[in-house]
Structure 1
Amino acid sequence: MHAVIPYVIAALLFALGVYGVLRRRNAILVLMAVELMLNAVNLILVAADASIKSTLSGVQPEAWAYPAPEPKAGAIFALFVIVIAAAEVGVGLAIVLQYYRLRRAVVLDEVPLHEHEEQEAR
């Protein structure tokens, strides 16, 4: 497989996620778009790890300016991103569910950003 293909797919996934964040009004769909962007970052991390390893396979470790990178470092960073994404989903869904219990809607355009906007709406 050519090294450019995962980067192009990740760029398309990230662009689709950005479109979802900017265009959607439903809070659940916005959270899904953020998850799509995080998965694009995971794809870039793993692809970069694989392509850098194959590029540096013939270079002696003594010639590197830094110590030799850990094996599967991209996958390890991707694992950290997955953990952060899981925490983000938990907190985000808790906030959305609490707001739904109070207002019976999850449309982001109707969320008051300031306290005086909420008082004027009543």
Structure 2
Amino acid sequence: MLNQIPLEHILLLSAVLFSLGILAVITKRHAVVVLMGIELIFNAANLNLVAFSRHDPQLMQGQLFSLFVIIIAAAEAAVALAIVLRVYQHFNTANLNQIVTSED
């Protein structure tokens, strides 16, 4: 059997991904970068689901739930990018601070 990566290492990687996603959502001002941060958060959650489901090979709930999260994230990304494009056409900027403070 192949050497398996310990669960603690996978959870640490997931925590780093989640932290980077939160940092991007909180600190960045560009709408596309905020969407990338949200995707990092989704990927961290998926990594946790698959890591925990690997401990019980008879049950596939974590992997199936992760698949549904990936599908939802893809749909969310498509809708969010369409919204960002429309906002950019209207306000001529993707900077979230300028969108919130503009009066139109």
TM-score, normalized by the shorter chain, greater than 0.5? yes
Deviation at 1:112, TM superposition (A): 2.8
Deviation at 1:90, TM superposition (A): 1.1
Count of residues paired in the alignment: 100
Q: Distance in 1 between matches of 2:9 and 2:51?
A: 9
Q: Among 4, 9, 13, which residue is 2:13 paired with?
A: 9
Moved more, 104-113 or 13-22: 104-113
Q: Does 1:44 align with 2:48?
A: yes
Q: Distance in 2 between matches of 1:8 and 1:110?
A: 36
TM-score, structure 1 as length reference? 0.76
Deviation at 1:26, TM superposition (A): 0.3
**Unmatched runs of 5 consecutive residues or more in structure 1:** 55-69
Q: Among 88, 92, 98, which residue is 2:80 paired with?
A: 92
Amino acid at match of 2:103: E
Deviation at 1:71, TM superposition (A): 2.9
**Unmatched runs of 5 consecutive residues or more in structure 2:** none
Structure 1 counterpart of 2:62: 74
Residue by residue over 1:21-78, the C-alpha shift from the partner in whole angstroms, topping out at 9 and shown as x without a partner, is 0010000000001000000000000001112x16xxxxxxxxxxxxxxx632111000
Amino acid at match of 1:71: L
Give the percent of matched residue pairs that are identical in Structure 1 and Structure 2: 40
Q: Distance in 2 between matches of 1:40 and 1:112?
A: 29
Max Rg structure: 1
Deviation at 1:110, TM superposition (A): 1.0
Amino acid at match of 2:80: G
TM-score, structure 2 as length reference? 0.89
